[in-house]
Structure 1
Amino acid sequence: MKPSARAFPLLLAALLPLSACGIPETGVVEAGEPATGVLDPGVTSAPSESVPEAVPLVNVPLYFVEGGALVAVDRTVPGSTDLGSTVLMLFKGPDDKERRRGLTTELPPAAEAPTIRTDGTGVNVQLPRGAGSLSDTAVDQLACTVAVARLRQDPALGSAQVTVEQPGGRLAGRSSEDCPVDAATRRTPSKPGTAETGADPGTGTAVGGTGG
């Protein structure tokens, strides 16, 4: 008998016990770590998205002109503002909506921001050297905007005194008490003036030029 003929019965005998025990004859069974994060049928995973924080809106007080009278405007902008950014916003003039209301400005466009210093209730606004001379109404716009913005920063002050310093040392004093509160109660400060020496007619505060 050939060797292959003798080997066939032996191979068959070895396979019979395996088939009887239910062990599969073919196929590969893989083993490993158990699956994690299994989703229910029909549920798909989605990347987590962080919800952006809402940017708070703030009202910025600005003073413009309507029919020769000073008008208070609250412009709503996102984020916080300081005195410097408020003044730059003022120098840019009324926006489209405000112009449609008939609001204008006597302040010229500013290429450079004024220097602002605060000391309690007092605020000094120093215009850059390249700035031109401001009219009385323009000074009122600037001083009232700064005064009201300062009070919103610190309501406990009660009032604010603003000094506008123009090139050449010309000073003009204004008080927040001389500024209109809103459009419904608008009024110009009493006899505003930019006296270079002596007493300011609008506040009764003595101001004087520093020369130059």
Structure 2
Amino acid sequence: MKPSARACPLLIAALLPLSACGIPETGVVEAGEPATGVLDPGVTSAPSESVPEAVPLVKVPLYFVEDGSLVAVDRTVPGSTDLGSTVLLLFNGPDGKERGRGLTTELPPAAAAPTIRTDGTGVNVQLPRSAGILTDTAVDQLACTVAVARLRQDPALGSAQVTVEQPGGRLAGRSSDDCPSGADRETPGDPGTAETVPAPDTGEGVGGTGGTGG
């Protein structure tokens, strides 16, 4: 008998137990979902194709000075702002574009952030001791900036009353009704326009309520 003939019965006998147990004779049987989270060696994951969300632009009302008069401007900044961050922007003074238009400020640089409290239409701004005593024009800048920003937070208020508390207990009150308008004329991307409106000549700053104290 040839060797190949003798090998066939032996091979058939070896395969019979495997077939009886349900084990496939040849090939690979795939079952279930493909594995995830594991990459083959040398394969890197594809970069994320998600597009980052665009940061919205907002207009922040600020009051500066030109030739002794208050000037209302809108500065376009990315992201949202609250009263505290708006006041810090004001204390930092005009930016390059605003200085190029001749705008100045009478507010000193802020070494510390003021404390701001709101109660309906009323807003109290407590200045840190490092701020010193402000001029009437500086108080006008601060109060009008806060008042207009407060109304943009809640237009339903109609008006806002701002009290500026300076070191030593000096108080100065201002109303949004007496603040120069024009801050809403600048739009995002626009070089910007500023409307100069002289403050009422009351001798006590905007609104005539003036500051008090010894």
**Normalised TM-score (structure 2):** 0.73
Partner of 2:152: 152
Q: Distance in 2 between matches of 1:112 and 1:13?
A: 95
Secondary structure of 2:133's counterpart equals coil
* Residue in structure 1 matched with residue 29 of structure 2 by the alignment: 32
Structure 2 residue 186 is the aligned partner of structure 1 residue 186: no
Instruction: Please report how far the alpha carbon of residue 92 of structure 1 lies from its aligned counterpart in structure 2 after TM superposition.
Output: 0.5
- The answer to whether the Cα contact below 8 Å between 2:179 and 2:206 also exists between their aligned partners in 1 is no
Provide the identity percentage.
Answer: 73
Contact 1:136–1:192 (8 Å) recurs in 2: no
Shift, 1:159, TM fit:
1.0
C-alpha contact (below 8 Å) 1:161/1:174 kept by paired residues? yes
Contact 1:65 1:71 in 2 (8 A): yes
Q: Larger radius of gyration, structure 1 or 2?
A: 1
Taking the aligned partners of 2:197 and 2:4, their CA distance within structure 1 comes to 119
Residue of structure 1 in register with 2:207 after alignment:
203
Q: Is the 8 A contact 2:199 2:205 kept in 1?
A: no
Given that 1:123 and 1:160 are in contact with CA atoms closer than 8 Å, whether structure 2 keeps it comes out as yes
Gaps of 5+ in 1: 1-5, 15-27, 38-44, 194-199
Q: In the alignment, what sits opposite 1:21?
A: none
C-alpha RMSD over aligned residues: 2.9
CA distance in 2, matches of 1:143, 1:77: 21
* Partners of 1:115 and 1:127 within 8 A in 2: yes
Partner of 1:90: 90
Task: Give the 3 Å change call, closer, same or farther, for CA 93–8 of structure 1 in structure 2.
Answer: same
Would the aligned equivalents of 1:140 and 1:192 in 2 still touch at CA under 8 Å?
no
The structure-2 alpha-carbon separation of the partners of 1:203 and 1:12, relative to structure 1 and needing over 3 Å to count, comes to closer
Between the aligned partners of 2:138 and 2:156, the Cα distance in structure 1 is: 27
Q: 1:33 offset after TM fit, Å?
A: 0.6
Structure 1 pair 12/88, CA: closer, same or farther in 2 (3 Å)? closer
Runs of 5+ in structure 2 lacking a partner?
10-24, 35-44, 183-192
Shift of residue 154, structure 1, vs aligned partner: 0.7
**Offset, 1:206:** 7.7
Aligned equivalents of 2:8, 2:73: Cα separation in 1: 102
- Number of paired residues? 181
Whole-Å separation in 2 of the counterparts to 1:135 and 1:64: 13
C-alpha displacement at 1:8, in angstroms? Answer: 3.4
Compute the displacement of 1:46 (Å).
Answer: 4.6
Look up the equivalent residue of 2:207 and give its one-letter code: T
* CA distance 1:59–1:13, change in 2 (3 Å): closer
Q: Does the 8 Å CA contact 1:179/1:188 hold for their aligned counterparts?
A: no
SS in 1 for 2:60: strand
For residues 1-212 of structure 1, the aligned pairs below 5 Å read 6-8=1-3, 10-11=5-6, 30-33=27-30, 46-182=46-182, 185-191=195-201, 200=204, 202-205=206-209, 208-209=212-213
Q: Match of 1:130, SS? A: helix
For 1:155 and 1:69, locate their aligned partners in 2 and report how far apart those are by CA, in whole Å. 26
Letter in 2 for 1:109: P
Residues 69 and 48 of structure 1, relative CA distance in 2, 3 Å threshold: same
CA spacing shift, 1:54–1:89, aligned 2, 3 Å: same
In structure 1, distance between residues paired with 2:211 and 2:130: 22
Q: Which runs of 4+ in 1 moved over 3 A?
A: 6-14, 34-37, 45-48, 204-209
How far apart, CA to CA, are the structure 1 residues paired with 2:61 and 2:4?
104
Residues 81/13 of structure 1: CA separation in 2 closer, same or farther (3 Å cut)? closer
- The superposition leaves residues 149-208 of structure 1 with CA deviations (integer Å, 9 ceiling, x where unpaired) of 000011111111111111111111111121111255421321365xxxxxx564344864
